[in-house]
């Protein structure tokens, strides 16, 4: 991590705002003009890794070829001491689409269309520049607040393919580039990607926006990939009160055969626009407005040591596949319900049976369940030292319709769950406030920590 005040080209680092497997993004200011920017810098340990450097340079190349108001703009690029590449982007204020849906619940067809129209305009510009994005998903769509109307911006070209680039490749048959939850069958097979690959992801994105659910969910990577290859997703109208007109558009975009999909993003959005107009007369009413309720949640995330997944062996994959099903069975048997499942995370919850502070017994039960789960996971059969599990607890508000969680503050998991490997169990102040825990339970998992994130009043380790 670069400390505040570090020089990156013409920019001075203020603080880190995001990080990923290839680099860290910092908020920075131009040394002379004071203009704010987001500066992305490659991790130092990757500077001698050919694939990482090529991928970083390809991201710069891809974005600089596109000049469109709905695509993130690059302001500058270069290298810092040690040969680490960087690039400076416009600094955005707002929220990514995934956080927007988590906090508000699934979108109406009209609201979804309003966001997807600029996304498709951006993709059309991307494809005309002979580029395939290959990682279109809700977290890579940003809703920026520019002082006027919101501006929808397409982000993250880290795995984009420049079709007319004759340079060295950055993939091998054992690597998957993209996000498995939205990955087209041809990506999974390592076949040539084109504009229709992004159309598949558009269908998955529209599905998520309309239903609040991904088209395929499973805790094991192999099963998730199998679903994208062979299983047809359920119709959106089965998962949410939307009209059947939208089913045809979304499911066509997600056809297994690229030839059966919309051939361009423009064709997709034109058909979606017609379906939304036709559906205004037939759409089913929502079954009641969402109600705000307070719940306690356990977030389970499984991940491997950096680099371990580049050439995984059977022991590593078997252990990673076992963790989430084990946690799911354990929590389901204790009355928890699933609010969110992805390829490597679970979010299980219980409703708190009283307002604060009378909810302390309920919160204490949740903490104890998490401590027992941590002990169970530590003693799981076939445990691999390269596999790590983060358990994080939080209590907060959600929006529920019937028994389904459709949005709310607590569903913004990135705001409160730990992002780095931590031992034991972590919990927010909202979960631990006023609790007294049995000494024998704490002996089972002595590393109970309180995490400090966006919410005020969170303390340090306890």
C-alpha 352/C-alpha 395 separation (Å) is: 9
Strand, coil or helix: 387? strand
Among candidate residues 96, 135, 218, 319, the one labeled active-site is 135
Structure tokens at 211: 């239903």
Cβ-Cβ contacts under 8 Å for 33 (sequence gap 6 or more)? none
Look-up of token digits 């190349």: 61
C-alpha 368/C-alpha 350 separation (Å) is: 13
Residue 156 known to be catalytic: no
Residues 337, 348 contacting (CB under 8 angstroms): yes
C-alpha 284/C-alpha 243 separation (Å) is: 7
Cβ density class 95-134: b for 16+ within 10 Å, e for less: bbbbbbbbbbbbbbbeebbebbebbbbbbbbbbebebbbb
C-alpha triplet 371, 103, 247: angle, nearest 5°:
110
Residues 390, 327 contacting (CB under 8 angstroms): no
Query: What is the DSSP secondary structure assignment for residue 159, as one 8-state letter?
Result: T
The length of the chain in residues reads: 462
Catalytic residue numbers?
135
């Amino acid at each position: 991590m670069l400390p505040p005040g570090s020089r990156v080209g013409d920019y001075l680092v203020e603080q880190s705002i995001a990080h990923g497997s290839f680099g860290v993004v910092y908020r920075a200011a131009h040394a002379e003009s004071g203009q704010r920017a987001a500066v992305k810098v490659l991790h130092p340990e990757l500077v001698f890794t050919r694939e990482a450097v090529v991928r970083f340079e390809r991201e710069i190349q891809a974005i600089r070829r596109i000049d469109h108001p709905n695509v993130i703009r690059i302001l500058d690029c270069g290298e810092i001491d040690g040969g680490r590449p960087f690039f400076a982007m416009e600094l955005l204020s707002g929220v990514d689409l995934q956080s927007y849906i988590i906090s508000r619940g699934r979108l109406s067809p009209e609201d979804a269309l309003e966001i997807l129209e600029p996304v498709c305009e951006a993709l059309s510009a991307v494809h005309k520049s002979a580029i395939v994005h290959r990682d279109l998903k809700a977290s890579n769509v940003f809703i920026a607040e520019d002082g006027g109307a919101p501006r929808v911006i397409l982000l993250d070209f880290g795995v984009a393919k420049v079709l007319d680039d004759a340079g060295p490749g950055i993939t091998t048959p054992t690597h998957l580039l993209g996000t498995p939850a939205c990955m087209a069958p041809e990506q999974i097979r390592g076949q040539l990607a084109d504009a229709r690959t992004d159309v598949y992801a558009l269908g998955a994105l529209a599905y998520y926006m309309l239903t609040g659910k991904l088209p395929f969910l499973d805790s094991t990577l192999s099963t998730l990939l199998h679903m994208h290859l062979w299983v047809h997703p359920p119709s959106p109208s089965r998962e949410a009160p939307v009209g059947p007109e939208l089913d045809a558009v979304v499911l066509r975009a997600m056809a297994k055969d690229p030839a059966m999909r919309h051939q361009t993003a423009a064709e997709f959005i034109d058909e979606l626009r017609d379906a939304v107009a036709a559906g205004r007369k037939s759409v089913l009413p929502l079954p009641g407005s969402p109600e705000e309720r307070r719940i306690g949640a356990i977030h389970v995330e499984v991940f491997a040591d950096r680099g371990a997944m580049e050439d995984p062996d059977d022991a590593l994959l078997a252990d990673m596949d076992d963790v989430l099903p084990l946690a799911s069975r354990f929590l389901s048997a204790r009355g928890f319900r699933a609010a969110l499942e992805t390829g490597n995370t679970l979010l299980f919850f219980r409703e708190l049976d009283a307002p604060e502070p009378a909810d302390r017994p309920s919160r204490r039960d949740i903490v104890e369940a998490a401590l027992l789960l941590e002990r169970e996971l530590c003693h799981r059969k076939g445990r691999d030292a390269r596999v790590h599990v983060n358990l994080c607890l939080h209590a907060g508000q959600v929006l529920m319709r019937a028994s389904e969680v459709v949005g709310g503050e607590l569903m913004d998991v990135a705001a409160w769950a730990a992002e780095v490997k931590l031992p034991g169990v972590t919990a927010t102040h909202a979960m631990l406030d006023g609790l007294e825990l049995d000494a024998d339970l704490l002996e089972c998992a002595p590393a109970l920590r309180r995490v400090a994130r966006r919410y005020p009043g969170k303390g340090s380790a306890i």
